[in-house]
Structure 1
Amino acid sequence: MSTVYQATDLNLKRDVAIKIIHPHLTDNPEFLQRFEQEAASVARLRHAHITKVFDFNQEKGVYYMVMEYIAGETLAEKLRELNKTKSRLPYPEIIRMMATICDAVDYAHQTRLIHRDIKPANILIDLLGEPILMDFGVAKMIGGSTHTSTGAAMGTVAYMSPELVQGRGIDHRTDIYSLGIVLYELLSGAPPFTGDSTYEIMHSHVNRQIPLADNLDAATPPGLLDIVKKALAKNPDDRFQSAAEMANALRQLQRIYAQDDASAARHLSRMAGLFQAADVAYASGDYAACLARLAELQRRDADYQPEQTAVLRHQALTAIQQMAEQHIANGRFDQAEIYAKLMREYTPNPESANAIIQAIESGKQRQERMAHLDDLYEEALTKLRDSDYNGALQLWNDLQTAAGDIEYIDRLQVVRRAWDGISNERYKKAQTALAEGRPDEALALWRTIQADNPGFPDRENLEEQVAIFAVQQKRQRQILLAIGGVAAIVLVSAILIFAFRGQNEEPVTTPDVLAVIVPTDTAVPTPSATPLPTATATTAPTATATAVPTDTPTATATFTPTPLPTNEAASPFPEYLATVTEPSSIYAAPSSSATELALVRIDDPIVILARSSSGTWLYVRNASGVTGYIFGERVLWDGDRNSLPVHNTTTTTTTTSASAGPLELDLWALPGTIKCNTSGSGWTQQIYMNARGGNGRYIYKWNDQQIAGPTNSSTTYTVTSGGSVIIGTGSVTSADGQTLTRQLFIPRPNCGE
């Protein structure tokens, strides 16, 4: 009909029993209506030996009843234990227990409520040995209907009265019959009627006499037998007419058999029951109930098995302490506090309980600090997403200050990402400064990046570009100095010539322009000798200055830079002078897989003749006169590539994949990934490898051992040290045949040595 569960009332902080009505009964509206009415009547019962009903309700079609939870065992369980040893309760104990149950049944009858299912399984023996009547699940109001809508009788067949079996009208005296069955079972160990079928048992209730002589001990007091006979009369009129009448008959016997030895036996039985209940609670993991039973045992009889009681109490307290420590370790401090309070209540040694409570307080404080640190970390991530890298670093510094002795892990690499963001901004400024002709500023920014973020990659070879810029400036200064030197020589020569002529000839007038210096790559033709007009002197002392015609050409200064070697045949392309920025190869076709014709070094001059159709390769001639293709990003030239003519050469080299440019490799150690071995001697760290260029498909190696690929993305790899620094070589090979190698140095961390 129902299933009972133990539960906890979260509002009132108490244990309760919840009875769930079986779904097949809740499908019957008539049953639900009657059960709700009768449940309301049961809820009004208030008796010391009847379980209290707190609530009756339904949730999503599941009907349930919330009742008082009482620790203990049922009378049925107690009888099974007695039967195992073929023993019975003392007669005084049986009489006392049955008289108490009769009182509870009479109280229910006074409220016009019939139990209809009195049996040992519905009588609970609490920890003090007191009987409690429970489970009014099939109770009915006096005068109400006896059957369900299907005509089936309610109750347990072994304890049914004859009138209930026959389906006749019943009243409160049906419970008197059931009380008689329970009394009979306490005396004999089993109900009077058993059988292989329900029908056989029901037939016996109606037609057979009670087998007193067969099953009851011959020493059973006659007065007790008389009570059994009267309670089990077939005719309700021949029974006790009330449960109170039956209780009075039992108490008359109780006064007769109330002897000191019986009282002592009852006391020992109760103490044994308490200890047994404590032991069962410990075995089931209910350590709080175990300690409560032991405390009750100590209060009632401190001399009862003191050694066994002390051992069981110590075991329960140890288990509770372990549970508290486990909850503390898992951060469940509210649960840990429950066990700490139990320890403080029951332990004879308060120091251990105080230590647990102190650990809980420390754990709570640490948990609060961690929550604050998590908030700061989330704010730092927000700053990072908003590109406020300095703000992210400031929040991380604030977090480290607030962390104190807490080692907070930068699990999402806020610091590295912030420094990378700052370095990216500085790198862009450095590129701008270099493009605008401020190499010193660009180099200073790069040096700052290296100091703050040593692993940041120089993606565009900024340092080499600055060096190339410096070489170009130096060459320009040399050219200017050369031009100036030639001009000075011409000027001095002209002055000397005129001075020499002045000593041997008549003075001539000084021309307005002495010499013209024309820096050009083309020889300037010298004009033919032309007489100058004669200037006539007006005074005798001064000779007439006359320009003397001569066949010697007029002195003209010219400067012609040394040209690069040219092919014997005239080039069909325009020629532009440029500089190589990185060691490079000149290929027969615009592909790194084509035949290599020559090599050029940094600062080697080349002549740009044309470009490839894609614009990524330049058709050039080197100082040795070799013409071919060089990758355009490795050439320094300020001209417009789009204005160059297109020149393509078909290559006969078979390639498996196209190249997107020279291969590049980023290689650095990932911050925050150091792990020290427990022994303290060795350690590991993750490294990051990211390739660019080539044809986009890469194989990564560490110390010549392949660790990833072929892949089109980056990779991470864990390197291991036995205790010293890590010096290794990372390399990447792209599918177009290019290979690049980088060395990495990782210092030894402090592993608590």
Structure 2
Amino acid sequence: MAQKPRSLIGQTLGGRYKIESLLGRGGMSSVYRAMDENLKRAVAIKIIHPHLTKKPEFVQQFEQEATAVAQLRHQNIVRVFDFKRGQGLYYIVLEYIPGETLASKLEALNAANMNLPLTESVRIAINLCDAVDYAHQRRVIHRDIKPHNIMINLLGEPILMDFGITKLAGRDIKSLADKGALGSALYMAPEQAKGEAIDFRADIYSLGIVLFEMLSGQPPFQAPTTNGILQKQISIKLPDLYQINPNIPQALISVVERATEKQRDSRYQSAADMTTALQRIVLTLQNPLETLGSRQLEHLTRLWLQATEAFDSKDHVNCIEKIDELTRTGADYQTEQAAQLRAESTKRLYDQALELFHEGQFGEALLAVTSLRDLAPQYPNLGHLESQIRQSVQTDTIHSDLDTLYEEAVDALESHDYETALTKWQKINEKRGNLPYRDRMQVEERAKGGICARLYNDAFLAAAKEKPYLALDLWDQIKSIDPDFQDEDGVLGLTERLINTNEEVKERDKRLLIGALIVGTLFILTAVVLRFSDRGAVSAQEVASSSQATPVIAHTATSLSPTQTANPQLTEEGLAFLTSTKTATPTVTATTTETATVRATATAAITLTKTPISIPSATTTPVGTSLPSDIGLVLENSSIFAIPNLNGEELAVVEAGDSIVVIGRSIDNKWLFVGHGDIAGFVFRERLEWNGTAAELPVYTHSNTDAAAEASPEATGEITALEFDLWPLPETAVCTESGWEQDIFLQGHGSNGIYAYYWEGNFIEGPTSSSYVYRVTSLGGDLAGTGRVESGGGMWRESTIYIEAPNCE
């Protein structure tokens, strides 16, 4: 069952045109009477049937034709005010013409067994020819001239409607099957009936057929089918008008016959030629009593009626134009009334422009004030109002451009392209001038924060890699963007220590060099003195004494033995690795033996057995050696800190090539908790070569150097069960261009009180002892996600929440 078309009565199209009633419906469109709410005037709305607008080629051609027809301004051609697309409809806004179609007028006369008077028929034909010639000069062909497309207004003037619609519909001869097409076939030129290309002379043929019907009461060719009518148009000679109505002058019959010649080259070659021929006949048809004065009076009366009608429909521009034409044509006609009507219409047009301006409809206001400037350039305050409107139009345009830039900045921000987001915001500030513009999404603050965070991370890495000057340069960049940015990880402190250390090393090297030079000089002088000494050869006894003073090389190698005092433990593989890679080469003898036992951490107790004063030079681990999972290889000279922070206390320095025991990790996985000799602390993870998995390590938050066994988080106090709160914060949902956002609350309880927070597997905050608020984003629809908390005590909890999408319509 076909769906009943929805009624448009009472609806408003384009936020402006309120539909009042249906005027008519055809095969290609429906026509409604509507009220233009902006200009307060009646208009006609021609809505194209939806099945035609589904063809892209139709839509494109429709727009082109509508644009061309909108340029036509002739008193016998309907005016096109607007072309719109909205609410799934394509429609044209036309001048509303009260009256009836020529088809309805002829039908009523036939019903009364009457014909249209000859003089009226010729007058209508002359006006139509004049309108068609005007269109032809502007390269516009009507293609469908027939009585149904000709309105007769209240003053009896013909108005030509529906330019170009037949071409827009893409009709060919095979598709002419509906009632509307049958009506068109009655007035179709032979070449058009054959499906050939047509030109302006097809319109002249249709004008001849319309004139034939006005004179006789019926079209010349009729048949029960469309094909039958088309065949007659092509091959049958026009019926003799004299036989139908002997009162028709032969000269008028000749005009009709020439206009309807089968061969287009035999017709009038322009509508202007046909107009001239008809005007010659007018003189023979005039009533002797009709004078030039009476015709002039009739014309002036018509202009006055048109002006008053335009005033009543609030079409003040048209009203003023008609009064001006009346004044030019008959200076003495209704002089006082015409002046009063023009003054009142001018005032109302100004008030209309002012009202539109106050309502913020700047485009419509500018259109009204521009028309007023052309019609009444000296009107009081007109220039000031126009200046205000143009300024508002410019401001409106700037705001639109700013909104576009802001949307692009927000998109860049959501893509973490902070540099582009900040550049867009800077362009907004440049473009807006003195205009206020609110940063609704904190684009500037968030973009600067993102850039500074990246630069700070780079500075942190530079400092950790002992590149202090690069770190300082990055810090200067941060301060140039955000002077209030906080050095939370102590980058400046570390860089200062590195620079001071470098200076000390340089000074030490300088002193060593000087000392070396002095020692070398003394050695040379001593050698010279000994060479020239009077002493004799060395005695055997002196040689024997010297032999007894020779040192005996002895050394006890270092041994490492793990003690199972805490978890994790040093593996046998790790122990074997350390023993094999840390064997020392003895260089000096010792007089006594001493054994020292220290505890590295709660993980393992490491026993070092050394001969005092013996200084072994440790061998480094070869690059590429396969490392056990609990052993790390130092890649660059690195500091061991008491806490996982560059501001922490520096406990020791390990050199490149040293092997150290990996015990645990920091909450954020950036640091490894290691043991080296009797020291346990944190080393920046990127400074080690280590084959283990961080997620499998326990979490450490600090190193207790006074009692290494207490480094385990279990030794710091009572550890309670870890609990996790996760919920959406009410009243924080915000709709965005791409979806919506809302804040969620994350808080850990218990364990050791130090937490790291994650959302959907991504780290978002930590280590911290407090709660955290995080903004989640949805591209549309409800949102479900999983939060996670990890404690410094090695515990973790997860929770999933479901958030219903807000109403963003």
TM-score range, shorter chain: 0.3 to 0.5
Q: With structure 2 as the length reference, what TM-score do the two structures score?
A: 0.34
Larger Rg: 1
Q: With structure 1 as the length reference, what TM-score do the two structures score?
A: 0.36
